Structure 1
Amino acid sequence: MNSTPPVAQLTPRAIILSIILAMVLAAANTYLGLFAGLTIATAIPAAVVSMGVLRLLGGGTILENNIVQTGASAGSSIAAGVIFTIPALIILNYWQDFKYSWVLAIAGLGGLLGVLFSVPLRRSMIVEQPLPFPEGKAAAEVLKAGENPGPGLKILGLSAGIGALVKLAAESGLRMIPDNAAGAGFFGKYLGYMGTGLSPALLGVGYIVGLNIGIVVLSGSILAYNIAIPFYYAFLLNGDPEVAAKVIGKTAAEAAAIIRGDRIRYLGVGTMLVGGIWTLFSLRRSLLSGIRSGIAAARKGAGANLAETERDLPMKWMLIALMLFVLPLAGLYQAIVQNWGVSIPMTIIMIVAGFLFVSVSAYLAGLVGSSNNPVSGITIATILFASSVLMLLLGSDSKIGAVAAIMIGAVVCCAAAVGGDNLQDLKAGYLVGATPWKQQVMLGIGAFSCALIMAPVLNLLAQAYGIGDPTRPGSLQAPQATLMASVAQGLFGGKLPWDMIIAGGVIGAIVIAFDNWLKSRNSSFRVPVLAAAIGIYLPLELMVPIFLGGLLAYFVEKRHGVVGTHDESLRDRVHRPGVLFSAGLITGEALMGIAIAIPIVLSERADVLALPEQFHFNQFVGLVVLAIVGWLLFRASGAKGTVSN
């Protein structure tokens, strides 16, 4: 009989530390997502911080550290689920600010449903037909190599300080350096534009996603800015009196922004719509097989004497919890439409779409990682499906139809983001010998904890910077939420440039065909259609530093001689110091952005922190600062004695 005591896992200190980290990382990812349209997985930084903190408290077990990173990783998934959808209610003028109880209900219940829906998928995707889950494997390696977390913490702390200082010096703070460096001009009847953002956080995002994704998103932006906008200006503008009137008398940069905002960005909408539908279609057989085997395994294991490392949340408790969570959601939908004949179908749509798209999200997270998981494409598909049903129930001219579709999409988006993240964490736990049900409970706690702070953070950022407001300088783009609002509103009697959306759909089909051709040739370079769509949809200034960060990651691989290697664990070890430095840049800049918002809101002045004009420097200085940060990131990637050793 084995008398060895169980290794500590779900301890009070691990739960408390996990909740704190989850809230901090949720706030940081909220800013990053509204600013750049991207969020990053936070499991690895959370694991490093956990190892350092628990070591100061007398030492923690590997399974305690795993519990901390599991709960803390909910910060990125809840932030993504919320910011991709809920700001659309502001953009649609349904809300004037973010209602605390509503945001809590949508994010909290959506997150908990994501945990429940993902439980039956664990066995099929991790045990029986294991998917790679790259970030889960990387987190497991960090946990296994955690005897000396000190150097990793130093890298995180240093880079967070750098990111925070650069953000403080930027336009929303001291105004010492600009946010962007750009140039534009008229060349005969053509319009040219080129620019780059000067954000260290975007450089860090690029390092984490890598050169392949960096090339794809930049190519999308070049297609929009250097082909589509000049072509539209030269040949189509005269046939579009509405946009032509806005462009008269504007500078080249202003004209480019108007054409992009009113027309060209909808190419990205069309590409994303086609990409989302294609993703679901291409995964249909794998998803159905995975769902069936997962449910069958859960039923089979319900009465079995399973090892501790195989115990999921019991199916009967999951069903009870599902009923408890669905009832308040039905009440929430009823409060919107005031018609049980509509709110009940809305709830059914949410349940069906939620389970289906959690499965999609989990599968994609297993293939490409949580950071590259196209949750926004999944959400668009949900909104299209929900809108189609709601148009039958409410009519195509319903004033509340778009809002109802966004509400369904918001719950599903939160569930899908958390579901993919849950499987990523369970993969790490599987590799280090954790107990699945304890991780599932911790992720539920982390998700709900993050939901508690989302409304205050969103309101703070909205008051300080504006969200999705093209008329307000420095407004946070909120690209996905703006897209969701446009699609939902366009389907319910609104006005959308369908010619641009259709053209974007054609571009999406071409990208898919090209990617399949690359796949048939076993090429290591791929062209994910949703990454291309993001590049087309978002401003060029955001994509250039992401590409540069990916280029730095490539040079790091070249320096270490691992370019083209198929040994993912070796690549993870090579990149770990750079990933930690990048995570610090992102977190530091994002948290400083939130901190700067406080005096702006209190004073009601956007320039409250601005220094006198003699301390305001030009674009060249900003480029130098970005170059220095890039050099430090490259140097940090060769640091010795970190957790990568």
Structure 2
Amino acid sequence: MEKRQTEIPADIYSTADPVELPENAFRELGADEHYRPLMHPAHDYKEVTPYSVGVGLLLAVIFSAAAAYLGLRVGQVFEAAIPIAIIAVGMSSALKKNGALGQNVMIQSIGACSGVIVAGAIFTLPSLFILQGSYPDITVNFIEIFLSSLLGGVLGILFFIPFRKYFVKDMHGKYPFPEATATTQVLASGQGTGAGSRAQARLLVVASLIGGVYDYIVSTFGFWAEEVSTAFCGWGAALAEKCKIVVSCNTGAALLGLGYIVGLKYAFVIFAGSAFVWWVILPLMGTYGTPELTALSPDALFADYARLIGIGGIAMAG
């Protein structure tokens, strides 16, 4: 039986564009209910402009460098969509751009591609250089690596385009999409007076300054150790030697901020994985393992054996 398309009531688009998300933005729609988007489908909006493309590319470069640094250091990257959305809304508010929602969406879309490309490259490029050292016949060519990353990103976008209507329209309200929900709320905040967007942008700038000053004090003056461990004290060193148990915490601004961004629930899941590796796996290996294993320090056990549980520590958040 052919399914008839319900006609959209004309009064849904009869007034000016709304300044905030409708009540049914994040829930499933009823049988005869329709969703009214912030951008009128019959209106022309500025979207792809020199401003939006230029700012999007600039933020993509900045956040690619930040994601690459964090990924190579701790084995996981952050999602840049939310901070980029805050910056886009804050800039459009500061520049007094009216009706900048379309441009802000483009800035966020272009800039957020940074983490996707970097996440694949930072775990692939080191392996190529390692192979080059082991096999002289393998050469690492910058142009080939650049083109493979570029074409891989383009291929991913092309594969995603056919699914856009399905996930955005057909599955409206069925999936939570927490990151997309937060990004949408940030972008929608720029539709109002701009006071909320300026406050969000100000908060992001202040947080960045605090993080920079914090890391500068730690690395330059050494007021406290960047990584606090029980192995530094007498009883902790004895515990590490006999039972291979170490309790440590990295106090860097990047890791503290990343834990705050992902939230208490997922931060605890990551911590639970680390606790499982350090407090269960390592003591078992150091106690009941071969003589070669029992002779190793906890750090050596972790680096050479426990990390194999998951690539980059992902499976157990090691």
Q: What TM-score, normalized by structure 1, do the two folds share?
A: 0.38
- C-alpha distance in structure 2 between counterparts of 1:186 and 1:232, whole Å: 17
Partner of 2:185: 141
RMSD across aligned positions (CA): 2.5
Give unmatched runs, 5+ long, in structure 2.
Answer: 1-13, 15-41, 232-236
Residue of structure 1 equivalent to 2:201: 153
Q: Is the 8 A contact 2:80 2:112 kept in 1?
A: yes
Shift in alpha-carbon separation, 1:98–1:14, aligned structure 2, 3 A: farther
Percent identity among equivalent residues?
27
Give the unaligned 5+ runs of structure 1. 248-254, 270-478, 481-529, 539-645
Q: How does 1:464-503 map to 2 (within 5 A)?
A: 479=312
Q: What do residues 176-212 of structure 1 show as CA deviations (whole Å, max 9, x unaligned)?
A: 5422000132348423211100112212211222222
Please give the per-residue CA displacement for 1:256-311, whole angstroms capped at 9, x wherever unaligned.
Answer: 01111222222335xxxxxxxxxxxxxxxxxxxxxxxxxxxxxxxxxxxxxxxxxx
Structure 1's 99 and 177: CA in aligned 2 closer, same or farther, altered over 3 A? farther
- The residue that corresponds to 1:83 in the other structure is 122
Q: CA deviation at 1:32?
A: 0.9
Cα deviation code 1:359-403 (max 9, x no counterpart): xxxxxxxxxxxxxxxxxxxxxxxxxxxxxxxxxxxxxxxxxxxxx
Kindly indicate whether residue 274 of structure 2 is the aligned counterpart of residue 221 of structure 1.
yes
Q: Give the partner amino acid of 1:158.
A: V
Q: How many Å separate the matches in 1 of 2:62 and 2:101?
A: 22
How many equivalent residue pairs?
262
Distance 1:219 1:48 in 2: 31
Q: Matched residues in 2 for 1:32 and 1:260: separation? A: 20
Distance between the aligned counterparts of 2:166 and 2:148, measured in 1? 29
Equivalent residues in 2 for 1:317-466, closer than 5 Å: none
Map 1:497-536; keep pairs closer than 5 Å: 533-535=315-317
What secondary structure does 1:45 align onto?
helix
Distance 1:58 1:216 in 2: 42
Q: Which deviates further from its counterpart, 154-163 or 213-222?
A: 213-222
Contact 2:88 2:108 in 1 (8 A): yes
Q: In the alignment, what sits opposite 2:105?
A: 66
Instruction: Say which structure is richer in helix.
Output: 1
Q: Which residue of 1 aligns with 2:217?
A: 169
Give the C-alpha shift of residue 102 in structure 1: 2.5
**CA pair 167-82 structure 1, distance change in 2 beyond 3 A:** same
What secondary structure sits across from 1:181 in the alignment?
strand
Other structure's SS at 2:59 match:
helix
The answer for the alignment partner of 2:70 in structure 1 is: 32
Structure 1 partner of 2:25 = none
Report the secondary structure of 2:238's partner residue: strand
8 Å contact from structure 1 (residues 47, 69) kept in 2: yes
Please point out which of 299, 304, 314 is paired with 1:257. 299
Alpha-carbon distance, 1:237 to partner:
3.5
Q: Give 1:274-285 correspondences, 5 Å limit.
A: none
Alpha-carbon offset, residue 5 of structure 1: 5.2
1:14 paired residue number: 52
Amino acid at match of 2:118: A
Residues 1:204 and 2:257 are matched in the alignment = yes
Number of the residue aligned with 2:61: 23
1:9–1:42: structure 2 CA closer, same or farther, 3 Å change rule? Answer: same
CA distance in 1, matches of 2:139, 2:96: 45
Q: 1:237-276 to 2 correspondence within 5 Å?
A: 237-238=290-291, 241=292, 243=293, 247=296, 255-268=297-310
Which amino acid counterpart does residue 182 of structure 1 have in structure 2? Answer: S
> Does 1 or 2 have the higher relative contact order (CA < 8 Å, sep 6+)?
1
- Match in the other structure for 1:119: 161
Alignment partners' CA distance in 2, 1:27 and 1:534: 26
